[in-house]
Every structure is written in C-alpha cells, then in structure tokens.
C-alpha cells in the first residue's frame, strides 16, 4: 500500500486514486504524517464488511458459550416465576389477535 499526503492525493486527482484502488493498489491518505483515510476497491470493502460481521457473530457465540451455565427454563417455569397462568396468556393472545383483525 502506498501512502500519499492529502496534498499529493489532491494533485493526483480522484480519478487516479480510484483507478489505483480498482487495480488492487490501496492508497493511504495522510495528514501531518498520520494516516487518516484509505482508498480501497469496493470488492475490498465488501470483504472487510463480511469479515467484520463474521467476527462479530463469532464473538457473540464465544461469549454465549463462555457464560452459558446449561440451565434452561421451560415456559411453565417462566410463567410461574412471573405469576401468569397459561389461560391468562392464551386469553391475552386471543384478544390481541382479535384486535388486529378488526
């Protein structure tokens, strides 16, 4: 990857930067010696976004795996813990379904 100052990139022009990226040559843009942006191809960005999403999913799976105690609560236990009966929940659901049909 080559690095250009913002001034040099401006002189080269957007078209040259885009052409370079399309050919697979990423260009880093620096201001005061510090890279602040990069020009990369759309294919590269798509790949980076896919990788980011995959890593996020993997981190979530690993966190769940690390914190899962294996204890499961079935619906009847949850209803009892929150003070509901199956009949109350079924009546509430029926009322909600009825109100959406009107």
CB atoms within 10 A of CB 21: 19
User: What pTM was computed for the model?
Assistant: 0.56
**32/12 same-domain check:** yes
53-62 average pLDDT score: 96
Domain that residue 82 falls in: 72-102
**83/98 same-domain check:** yes
Tallying the residues shown for the chain, one arrives at 102
**9/31 same-domain check:** yes
Distance CA 2, CA 48 (A): 19
**79/91 same-domain check:** yes
- 3 state SS of 34: strand
**34/13 same-domain check:** yes
Taking only the tens place, the pLDDT of each residue in 61-97 is: 999 999 988 888 898 899 999 999 999 999 999 999 9
How many domains does one find in the chain?
A: 3
**76/102 same-domain check:** yes
The Cβ-side half-sphere exposure at 12, using a 13 Å CA radius, reads 17
């Amino acid at each position: 990857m080559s690095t250009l100052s913002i001034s040099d990139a401006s002189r080269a022009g957007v078209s040259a930067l885009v052409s370079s990226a399309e050919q697979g040559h990423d260009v880093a843009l620096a201001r005061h010696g510090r890279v602040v942006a990069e020009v990369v191809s759309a294919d590269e960005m798509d790949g980076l976004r896919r990788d980011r999403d995959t890593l996020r999913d993997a981190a979530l799976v690993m966190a769940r795996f690390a914190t899962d105690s294996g204890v499961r609560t079935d619906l009847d236990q949850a209803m009892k813990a929150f003070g509901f009966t199956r009949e109350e929940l079924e009546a509430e659901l029926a009322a909600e379904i009825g109100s959406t049909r009107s």
